[in-house]
Structure 1
Amino acid sequence: MHWYLMSFSATRFNHVLKFLADKDINYCCPMVVYHYQRPDKVNSVRKRLSPAFPGYVFVELDLTDNKLLTFSQCRYIQRLIAFGGEPVTVHQKVIDELSNRTFEECKCEREPPPVTGFSTLDNDAWADILATRDPDARISKLLSYLEQRRDYDGKIRRYDKRYNNQCEKKAV
């Protein structure tokens, strides 16, 4: 069993998380608590819970099983993230650190939230990822972090062959 990053429709995260829980699939979806001022009352603040990485959730799967077929039952799930070949595995240390952390962001203030609690991972990379206020930029930095640290076994796959111009051309 390995952890993978799965993409889904960002606005339907409650439905996707409920679907994963119903299918007994372990997942990790770090959440952010947003504070914003209520428009109808003075000096009153509301809280909204949303994913720290909108549109992405970490799932624990064994790819030899047919659990990938169950994903087609949920129309909001799109795919497992892969960089040109097989899906990218996420190390257990990353999942442990993300599951032990609660994100706090406040839209009322303009300074980024404090980043603490990441002692076992590369502190500079995680501090940069988690201190990013824009969710899209945060996702982009997470994907580049995973792409730089992925395990590559050196095998040429279908997508690698295409980009290396090694595809066989059929005679017409």
Structure 2
Amino acid sequence: MTWYALQYKPAQGDRALTHLQNQEVSCFFPKVLVEKIKGGKRTQVLEPLFPGYLFVNLEQTDSMWAKLRSTRGVLRVVGFGGKPAAIGADVIEHIKQGLESVAEQGGIRPGQSVQLSEGPFEGINAIFQSYDGEVRAIVLINFMQQRQEVKVPVSAIKR
């Protein structure tokens, strides 16, 4: 059996996965935990590692090929020259092994340069230190020829 990529319809990855699994198709839909800032608060959201795509494991002679395009949520099979593009099992295994070590995508890391976008320090470059609760962060700024530790709203930080 070989792995193939399927493109799913916008915002229908979970739907496509569910319908494929109901048809007993072996699927792989890698997701990572991503930290986002919404409304000035940090939230963690599970998002696809490859937005728009999931992987299926099928044999070329499988009768399921005819049903793939009409499966709810599935847009198309990724291919070249009218033939599905095979993905090596080693590539899928590498992705599976690397999922645990994937760094958080959306969070700001200590030591990262940021810019303050509101408040008395608007427009000043800073170095992110840490979060201080859900809505505040600690940053370092150069003020009066010294590095000062300042607490600012998370919503005031831009990368």
TM-score range, shorter chain: 0.5 to 0.7
Instruction: Return closer, same or farther for 1:3/1:80 CA change in 2, 3 Å cut-off.
Output: same
Pick from 56, 61, 64: which aligns with 2:61?
A: 64
What residue in structure 1 maps to residue 47 of structure 2?
50
Offset, 1:3: 0.8
- Structure 2: how far apart are the matches of 1:14 and 1:57? 10
Equivalent residues in 2 for 1:106-145, closer than 5 Å: 106-109=105-108
> Deviations along 1:18-75, whole A, 9 cap, x unmatched?
11221111112221211023426xxx52111111111111110112121022224423
Offset, 1:6: 1.1
Equivalent residues in 2 for 1:1-172, closer than 5 Å: 1-39=1-39, 44-102=41-99, 103-109=102-108
Instruction: Name the larger-Rg structure.
Output: 2
Instruction: Return closer, same or farther for 1:13/1:5 CA change in 2, 3 Å cut-off.
Output: same
Contact 2:69 2:77 in 1 (8 A): no
**Higher strand residue share:** 2
**Higher helix residue share:** 1
Question: Unaligned stretches of 5+ in structure 2?
Answer: 113-159
Relative contact order (alpha carbons < 8 A, sep ≥ 6): 1 or 2 greater? Answer: 1
Structure 1 runs of 4+ aligned residues shifted over 4 Å read none
Contact 2:30 2:50 in 1 (8 A): yes
**What is the root-mean-square deviation of aligned Cα atoms in Å?**
2.1
- Output the TM-score relative to the length of structure 2: 0.60
- Structure 2: how far apart are the matches of 1:72 and 1:83? 16
Contact 2:16 2:72 in 1 (8 A): no
SS at match of 1:6: strand
What residue in structure 1 maps to residue 117 of structure 2?
none
- Structure 2: how far apart are the matches of 1:25 and 1:62? 11
SS at match of 1:96: helix
- Output the TM-score relative to the length of structure 1: 0.55
Paired residues, number? 108
Identity of matched residues, %: 26
Question: Unaligned stretches of 5+ in structure 1?
Answer: 112-172
